[in-house]
Structure 1
Amino acid sequence: MLNIVLFGPPGSGKGTQAKFLEEKYQTPQISTGDLFRYNLKNETELGALAKSYMDKGQLVPDEVTTNMLVDHLDNNPNPQGFIFDGYPRTTAQAEALDKILTEKYQSEVSVTLALVVDDEILVQRLLERGKTSGRADDVDETIIRDRITEYYAKTAIVAEHYKAQGKWVEIDGVGTIEDITEKLNAAIKEVL
C-alpha cells in the first residue's frame, strides 16, 4: 500500500500535485477540506457536530475530523493506498492516522512530502488565484499571511513526528508544475 501525506502551506501547489499523484499511482486523494464540505453540505451527524463548533468560532476537535476520515475510508475502501491532503494537521491526528492505517490495512504512512515555497511567492500565488477562485481568503493579503503563519505554527510539530520516523521529505515547490511533479515522483520511488 502506498500512503502519501502531502504537506505544504496554502498556495504551495498541494491540490494541483495531488491530482497528478492520484492519477499516476491510482490512489485517491483525501482532502480534509473536501470531507468537511461533504459532511456540512449533506448535513451528516459529523457535519452537524463540526458546525456546532464552527458556529461558536471554535476549532473542530481532532476527534471529529478523524471520525470524518474514518467514515470516508469505511465507505471508500482502496487497498492500493491514499494521498492525504490536509490531514494530519496535529500530532494527535498523525498518531490517529498511524493507528488507523495499522488497524484497518496493516499498513503505514509510506512518505510525507512537504512542498517548500518562500512566503512571498505563496502570497503572490494566492493573490493571483484569488482573481479567479472566488475565494474571499485568496484576495486579502493580511488574511493570506495569517493563514501561512497559522500553517507553520500548527504543522511544525507534525513535521517532527514524521522526521522521527524517517518519513519526511522536503521538496522545492518552486518551478514548473512538471518539474515539481518529477521531484515528487523521485521521492516516492525511493519508498516503493
Structure 2
Amino acid sequence: MRIVLVGPPGAGKGTQAAFLAKNLSIPHISTGDLFRANISQGTELGKQAKSYMDAGNLVPDEVTVGMAQDRMEQADAEHGFLLDGFPRNVAQAEALDAMLDREGMKLDAVLDLEVPEDEVVKRIAGRRICRNDSAHVFHVAYKQPKAEGVCDTCGGELYQREDDSEGTVRKRLEVYHTQTEPIIDYYKAQGLVATISALGQVDEVTERAMRALHGRGDQAA
C-alpha cells in the first residue's frame, strides 16, 4: 500500500507510522529522517536544504519533493510506503501525484488522525524532558515521575522545552490549519481519506487505523 499519514502535532503520527509500517511491511518515510539523512550524507539536496536552514529560511518545496522522490525510488519502497510529514501542503501533494502518475502508480489511502485541539495542547504542553537524556520523557498527566521534577531513570532534572509551551503549540497548530490541513480536502476530492480518532491507547489507535486501511485496500483491489 502507498499511504500518506496526516494529523496535527501531538496526534501521535510518528508512533502510529512506526507500528503501521511494521504491520504492513512497508518503509516508514518521514520528512525529519529524509532531511537528516541527506544532510549527514552530504547529498546535493542535503546541501541545498542546509543552506536554507542555516540562513533561517524555509526549505523550498522542490527540495523536499526531490528528497521524497529519491527515497521512494529505493528498492524497499517498490511495493509501497508510508509517508509521514510529506506532503505538507497542497503544492507538495500535487507534486506527489504527478510523481506517482509518471511511474504509473497512485496512492491507496490518506489516513487522517483526528485529535481535538485542546487535547493536542494538553499532550504537548504537559511533556517534561530529562536534561541528562532527552529520551527520558514524562508527562504531568499521563506519565508522572515518582518525584516531581526528577527523572525516574537517572535522577536528572525534568524541564519543559520551549517548543512545548502552550503558546508555541497553538502557533504550530495555526500553521497546521493554514498549510497542511487543506491537503485533507484535496485528497477527499479523490476519495482517499480515512479519518480516525487518535484518542485512546496506542494499540487502540493502531487497530482503528489498520481496519480503515484494510477497507481502503479492499476498495483499491
Partner amino acid, structure 2, of 1:124: K
1:181 counterpart residue number = 206
Preserved CA contact (<8 Å) 1:28 1:82:
yes
Which string of whole-angstrom CA distances, capped at 9 and with x for unpartnered residues, describes residues 43-92 of structure 1?
Answer: 22111111222223221111000001112223344222000000001112
2:3 counterpart residue number = 4
Gaps of 5+ in 1: none
TM-score, with length taken from structure 2: 0.79
2:121 counterpart residue number = 123
CA distance in 1, matches of 2:42, 2:122: 35
Preserved CA contact (<8 Å) 2:30 2:84:
yes
The range that moved more, 68-77 or 156-165, is 68-77
1:137 offset after TM fit, Å? 5.2
Preserved CA contact (<8 Å) 1:159 1:168:
yes
Preserved CA contact (<8 Å) 2:27 2:81:
yes
Pairing of 1:33-182 with structure 2 (within 5 A): 33-104=32-103, 106-132=104-130, 133=134, 136=161, 138-182=163-207
Which string of whole-angstrom CA distances, capped at 9 and with x for unpartnered residues, describes residues 82-109 of structure 1?
Answer: 00000001112111111222323x2211
Gaps of 5+ in 2: 136-159
CA distance in 2, matches of 1:74, 1:60: 21
Which string of whole-angstrom CA distances, capped at 9 and with x for unpartnered residues, describes residues 131-179 of structure 1?
Answer: 2547945432221221111111101321121011011121111111121
CA distance in 2, matches of 1:3, 1:75: 14
CA distance in 2, matches of 1:144, 1:92: 24
Higher helix proportion, which one? 1
CA distance in 1, matches of 2:163, 2:75: 31
CA distance in 2, matches of 1:5, 1:81: 11
Partner amino acid, structure 2, of 1:185: M
Partner amino acid, structure 2, of 1:121: E
Partner amino acid, structure 2, of 1:62: D
CA distance in 2, matches of 1:63, 1:189: 32
CA RMSD of aligned residues (A): 1.8
2:46 matched to 1:21?
no
Partner amino acid, structure 2, of 1:70: Q
CA distance in 1, matches of 2:44, 2:122: 38
CA distance in 1, matches of 2:204, 2:64: 33
| Identical columns (%) | 43
Q: Which has the larger radius of gyration?
A: 2
1:30 counterpart residue number = 29
CA distance in 2, matches of 1:180, 1:28: 19
Greater RCO (CA < 8 Å, at least 6 residues apart): 1
TM-score, with length taken from structure 1: 0.90
